[in-house]
Every structure is written in structure tokens, then in C-alpha cells.
Amino acid sequence: MKIERNYYLNKLIDHRENGRIKVITGIRRCGKSVLLFDIFGDYLLKSGINENQIITMRLDEITNLRYRNPMELDQYVREMIIDKHQQYYIFIDEIQEVKPIQNPWFKDKDEKIGFVEVLLGFLSLKNVDVYVTGSNSKMLSSDIMTEFRDRGDEIHVNPLTFKEYYDAYEDDKRNAWRDFITYGGLPKIMSEKKPEDKSNYLQYLIKKTYLADVIERNKIKNNKDVLDDLLNIIASNIGSLTNPTKLENTFQSVKRKKVNDTTISTYLDYFSDAFLIRKAYQFDVKGKKYINTPMKYYFSDIGLRNAQLNFRQQEETHIMENVIYNELSARGFNVDVGIVTIFNKDQEGKTKRSKLEIDFVVNKIDKRCYIQSAFALPNEDKRLQETNSLLRINDSYKKIVVVRENIIPWYDEDGIYYIGVEDFALKFIDELTENI
């Protein structure tokens, strides 16, 4: 089954031969390798590049274990560059698997050679263009990017958007949304036909791949059950404001466990580093400042969230909010949770301060819009409740309410735009990307 990933293909084309290292990041199994080796590789071949000009290395394959040694990898690639007058393209999959080794020419134990040194060495060759994939954001920490000396470009790949999923969906298209919010957008899901096969695949991934990867990468020997419990709590409360202190209290009251907020914060960072979850900070729209806590967490793939909960708690209201967040993030928007502070007088004439929430404050460079995920608006009172925060914003940026129902899009008298979630994900969001 061919799944078009034109958004990311065009990014690679735009960055082609720019003298920088292209680092393709994303959660495991989201399609990074297919994007690089198959989609972009095919593009290069069709544009006239010969196969011997594309040097490939998949570091997660057992036959290539020796090349996790940076010296071996460097030697292999350089031996493949046989003609200095030809342009070569280096594709390395799962670059974080390269392990740092002691620099053999120095006695100082802190003097290491790792993948950064190898990649920078490749850039010194005038006829190579370097592309690597990685499944953990630690490989792009500020320290490493400093070592790249501003010579690296990150291209972050997400699981399938609903449009990518819908276009490749081979059954009755009327069922596409139902399946998407249940099983998510990891590409292999598209080739599984039976519901039990889809659910088994996702449950295997969440336990045996993602959690196991976090445990191994961060050398967690104890508290493995805490790690699983924490992910359960986040999965059960997507779209809810929280912070490590609140989560510490949840462990005490619900799980009957004492887990301090520092440990919880560290584990949340581990999940974020593995691209399993994302955090959305609060933004005070009127005060024009960020509020560091509490914040919201969303799963990068809703199917993994459902699998973590054994496909219980299928509340479409929260799932729809998570999907909208992912759809916006996948288009390169910066997405925050909006807060509007208002002041009202009580019956005694005293001024009281309260906060209204906007689900998403969506930014790209100097442009912005506000989005409310409302699910259903059965009556006028509910509509006014959902739009109250939007009406308190005194600017001209677009204000949007997304509902589950398949409605004809319309504007109310205050200029607020109402649209169904499927139309939003399939059509409107791409228009928003162009016109916001």
C-alpha cells in the first residue's frame, strides 16, 4: 500500500544539497525510514541519480551492528565514495544507535567519538549530502546542536494525519474517521485488516517497543510499574490541565503509591524525548505571556493512547481534542492552551477574577488563530458557553469552533467560524496553513 507523504517529501526536496545535516526525527514506526529510503530515494532515482550514488545504512538491522561503532561507520561510508566528481547521498537510519567510544588517540576518558563527529566529518566532503533518522529527541539536545555548529536541520515526521490516512483508506470512507480515532495513524495500521490485529499490533508496540525503549535508553531498573501507571494516568486525562505535583497527588490518592514530583517530571520528559507524548503550555492571551504550570499532555498518536488503556475510555470528546492538536502540530503550527482572564463583580459589588480557557492558540511566525474543540452544540446555551472565551479576545485573528457533526460551515454574527471536524482535517486545515 502506497501512502503519500508529500508534505515531508517537499521538505526534504527543499533542503536537498544545502550543505547541512538533515535529521529526520519522529516516534518509532511513524514512517521515517520509508520516507527517506523509499519515498525520497525514489524521488532521487527518478530525478536522474544512480543507485550507486545513494549510500544507505540501517543501524537497527542485526547485520549492521558493527557500524554502531562510529569508526566503523565512518570507514564504511568513505569507502563507498569512489568518485570525487559524483554527488553522493548518505542515508543513515536510527543514527542514535551509534555508541560513543573512547578516542584512541587521547588518554582522557572524557574524550569521546560519537555520531556527531562522524556526521561533521562527512560534511567536510564536498560531494556528499547527509540524511539521518532518529527516534529520540535527546539526539537533538541543545548541546548536540551546538556541536553541529548550526549545520543541522531537523525535519520532524508525525504519524499520519487524517487526510493522509483518509486518502489511503481502502474501505468505506464513511468509516475512516471511526477507525482513525480508534487505531490512530501509524502507517502499518493501514495494512492490518482485522480489528484484533490492529489492536494487538498497537498494544505490542506500546509495551514492547515504546515503554521498553524508554526503560532501556534511560537505564530504569526500578519503578517500571510507576512508568506504566504514569502513562495510564496521562492517557486517561488527555486534554486536562495537570502538573507533576497534581500527578503526585493522583498517585497517592488513586494508586496508593508515593512517587515524588521530581521523578514524575523526569519520567514525563522521558516520554516526550521518545516523542510518545507532547506538552502544551498555557498562554495568557491578554497578558501575552506563558504560564509554565499547569499544562496539557497529548499523545502523538491516538491509537497508542487507546492501546495503553486497552481500548477502554473511548470518550470521543477528549479524543477529538487530541486529534485536532496532532493535526495542527503536523502542519508545523505552534499550539498552546489559551487563557483569557476576566473580571466580574459579585452580588456584593466586589471584583472577582476568573479564567476562561481556549482549547488552542495556534501560531505560525507572526500569524495566529484560535480554535475551540466543542464536539457538540445541542442548544444556544451550549454554543454561548463554548464561545464565551473567544468573544473576550479583542483582536482580529480568526476564531474557529470545531464540532463532531458533519455540518455546512458557517459564520455567526460575531465572525466565529463553525466547521465539522472531518471537513476541518481534510480540507480547511490546509487552507489555514496557507492563509493564516
Q: Measuring CA to CA, how many Å separate 410 from each of 153, 168, 402, 406, 435?
A: 40, 29, 11, 12, 18
Q: In sequence order, what DSSP letters do the residues of 43-88 get, joined into one string?
A: HHHHTT--GGGEEEEETTSGGGGGGGSHHHHHHHHHHH---TTS-E
Domain spans in the chain, listed from the N-terminal domain onward: 6-156, 159-436
76, 79, 85, 89: CA torsion to nearest 10: -10
* 8 A C-beta contact, residue 85 and residue 124: no
Cα–Cα distance for residue pair 373/421, rounded to 1 Å: 9
Q: Which long-range contacts (CB under 8 A, 24 or more apart) does 352-355 make?
A: none
Q: Tell me which DSSP letter residue 276 carries.
A: S
Cα–Cα distance for residue pair 172/191, rounded to 1 Å: 15
Per-residue pLDDT of the chain (436 residues; tens, 9 = 90+): 789 999 999 999 999 999 999 999 999 999 999 999 999 999 999 999 999 999 999 999 999 999 999 999 999 999 999 999 999 999 999 999 999 999 988 877 788 899 999 999 999 999 999 999 988 776 666 556 666 767 889 999 999 999 999 999 999 999 999 999 999 999 999 999 999 999 999 999 999 999 999 999 899 988 899 999 999 999 999 999 999 999 999 999 988 899 999 999 999 999 999 999 999 999 999 999 999 889 999 999 999 999 999 999 888 999 999 999 999 999 999 999 999 998 887 778 788 888 999 999 999 988 899 999 999 999 999 999 999 999 999 999 999 999 999 999 999 999 999 999 999 999 999 888 777 6
Cα–Cα distance for residue pair 248/110, rounded to 1 Å: 37
Q: Measuring CA to CA, how many Å separate 95 from each of 152, 276, 285, 414?
A: 14, 19, 40, 51
Written as one letter, the residue type at 413 is E
C-alpha cell at 392: 473576550
Give the closest residue to 92 by CA, choosing from 127, 57, 122.
Answer: 57
In this prediction, residue 338 carries a pLDDT of 96
Give the closest residue to 239 by CA, choosing from 325, 184, 323, 318.
Answer: 318
Cα–Cα distance for residue pair 322/37, rounded to 1 Å: 30
In this prediction, residue 107 carries a pLDDT of 79
C-alpha cell at 36: 527517506
In this prediction, residue 149 carries a pLDDT of 66
Cα–Cα distance for residue pair 205/200, rounded to 1 Å: 9
In this prediction, residue 146 carries a pLDDT of 67
Q: In sequence order, what DSSP letters do the residues of 343-385 get, joined into one string?
A: EEE-TTS-EEEEEEEEEEEEEETTEEEEEEEEE---SHHHHHH
Q: Tell me which DSSP letter residue 96 carries.
A: G
For the chain, the farthest-separated pair of C-alpha atoms sits apart, in whole angstroms, at 85
CATH of region 6-156: 3.40.50.300
